[in-house]
Amino acid sequence: MTDQLGEIIKKTLKAIESGKEEIFYIAETSRTETQRLINELSQLKLDIKDIISLVDSQEKIERRMRQKLMEVNRLHEKYSQKEMMETYSEAKDAQVKLQLLQQKEVELRKRRDDLERSLTQMEITIERAQNLMTQVSMAISLLQGEVVEALQSQNHGQKYEMGLRVIRAQEEERRRVAREIHDGPAQTLANIVLRLEIAEKLLELDSGRVKAELKDLKNLVRANLQDIRRIIFDLRPMALDDLGILGAISNYLDNFQNNYRIKCQLRVEGEERKLLPAMEVALFRLVQEGMTNVAKHAHSPKVDVHLIFRDDWMIARIRDYGKGFEVKSAMNTPGEHFGLVGMRERVEMFSGHFRIQSILGKGTLIELSIPSSQEGGKTT
């Protein structure tokens, strides 16, 4: 019976993996089509702008010709038959040309509206595919039992709930990394390939321009390499292994202060302890997310970070002196305040506590605490 069940699970996994590849293909095809639609829509808007200008000019011409025709009809005794016929013909031609231009404008506007609807639908398709990918990955992870070891000490209900939380966190991290790679290095590399092809064509025509192009490409590659290193750093900050959680946060705050010109003060209470690797990464991410919120939204001249090491708990407080916000409203609109909601969910995943206090015009205090399951005792 166990062998049969194992075979069923194996076949199910194979089918799900095949479905996952199909979903990935749909998502990538949709992204390609989305980019094509964006390019076409951009060109179409320029065409509409041009046709509007032509219609405006032609309306003036048509109006002028109508006025001339009215004058010829009113003062017909002053004009010859030939002049009257020419005036009528010119007025008719101006009217027909205006109607054709107006019809073209209508068609272009309709095409623009169709493209915008298609683009919206494509974005919905991509979002659905990404969500489906996450759900499929969660199903695969559950079937493969990736989190069994971490859940051995829990009862069945707790195992299921914690398993879902762990897998959700894994998949959200994967999606974040995939999104960063797609929007950053992947786009830059595509641009580099395109520009290299142009440089190759220019090689025999204008070597001077090729030299300048290669210089720009070298700088672009360097920037791309920096992006890739940052993404690798975000997967697990290397400073955690080299410096420990306290040194990593201190180093991060120094870089934050230099990058954003926001004064950072770190205060430590208690003796630093070695945390489980997952908790170290979680704590670092939480501080990082809190500081990112300060940089993006707070408009604060300085930030105080307070780390408290206790026997059973690790506490972090981030206080800024910026503009503040309505906490209840922010936490009830996760689409606009995803960072804060994500922080709360990450803390709850470790059975911790999350608290925010904010006063408009005076600043915000974010406090988080997680159980400090120790590994190896105190650091030296």
pLDDT of residue 158: 53
- pTM across the whole model: 0.46
pLDDT, position 212: 79
Max CA-CA distance within the chain? 112
Burial of 280 (0-12, 13-18, 19+ CB in 10 A): buried
CA distance 193 to 197: 6
Query: Which residues in the chain show pLDDT less than 70?
Result: 1-18, 20, 133-180, 182-183, 226-227, 229-239, 333-338, 373-380
HSE-up (13 A, CA, CB side) for residue 334 = 5
Residue 338's nearest CA partner among 296, 278, 380, 275 is 296
CB proximity list for 256: less than 8 A, separation 6 or greater:
262, 264, 291, 295
Q: In 3-state terms, what secondary structure has residue 95?
A: helix
What's the distance, Cα to Cα, between the start and end of the chain in Å?
Answer: 53
All structural domains of the chain, each given as residue ranges with its CATH number in brackets, are 2-144 (1.10.287.950), 238-378 (3.30.565.10)
Q: Yes or no: say if 318 and 363 are a contact pair by the CB < 8 Å rule.
A: no
As a whole number of angstroms, the distance between CA 137 and CA 168 comes to: 9
Determine the Cα–Cα distance for residues 197 and 213; give it in Å rounded to an integer.
11
Predicted pLDDT at 179? 65
pLDDT in tens, 145-202: 544 444 444 455 555 555 555 555 555 666 666 666 766 777 777 777 777 877 777 7
Residue 42's pLDDT is 87
Q: What is the pLDDT of residues 288-334, one digit of tens each?
A: 889 988 988 899 999 999 999 998 899 999 999 999 998 888 777 65
